[in-house]
Amino acid sequence: MSIRQLKRVQMLFLWSVKPRYFQMINKKLNKSMSIKNKLNAALNTLKKSLDDEYLQGAFAKIEESINSLPDESASAGNNLPTPLLNPDEIAMYSDGACRGNPGPGSWAFIAQDHTGSLVQTASGVSEHTTNNKMELQGVIEGLNYLKGESTSYRKIFYFTDSKYVVDGITSWVKGWKKRGWKKADKKAPENLEQWQELDMLNERFNVEFIWVKGHAGHPQNELCDQLANEALDAQGF
């Protein structure tokens, strides 16, 4: 490969990353992890648009440099505020994301104990889904995680930016169940199976669902949003 070809690839790569980079520098949490994943996503996009066997060596060099960046995922929760909890309580946070509605989507959740330690983070992707489905799935996955834990928490504080989830589980579900899982118009609720699973989990645990405004600087909510979007990036969506 000529020097000219290598410079062309590097220039195109930098221009593809530049707008994403300036969006990321304002992130308050875990900047290095976001940059590393975003760079890989940008590189994958460039590979697809420049499918040329003569450029594979340049792509490999760029990918090697990206992967040499430190992965700070283990310290993702270092800057999170400590929730006000008793030792037998836990705080859960989740978020859903969708690129197109319907379209590819993802969920993510985190769990914090009374010391502020980030005891669990998880995320997942669905190729064709809706935003509401992913918001529901984030909560379901978080509560299912607690099912497998040896610690029995007296109370769970569950934070989400989805009014659909909070209003549904605290209000709508009661009426649906009285009518045999039917809405007032005698039709089944959308996402019925997810609502039924969430209802069973809610009955198993002592959960207080709390709505928080999304994209408003709430640290734990912002981290969940970040993890959900990184999961989509990693799958090339």
Note if 203 is an active site residue. no
The single residue of 77, 95, 222, 230 carrying the catalytic annotation is: 95
Residue whose token pair is 């975003």: 38
* Sign of the four-CA dihedral 95, 99, 101, 102: negative
The single residue of 113, 161, 230, 233 carrying the catalytic annotation is: 161
Q: How far is CA 6 from CA 15, 20, 59, 202, in A?
A: 14, 22, 9, 56
Note if 88 is an active site residue. no
Note if 135 is an active site residue. yes
Q: Is there a contact between 106 and 128 (Cβ–Cβ < 8 Å)?
A: no
The single residue of 96, 138, 142, 168 carrying the catalytic annotation is: 96
Note if 113 is an active site residue. no
Note if 199 is an active site residue. no
Note if 161 is an active site residue. yes
The single residue of 222, 225, 230, 233 carrying the catalytic annotation is: 225
The single residue of 135, 222, 230, 233 carrying the catalytic annotation is: 135
Residues marked as catalytic:
95-96, 135, 161, 215, 225
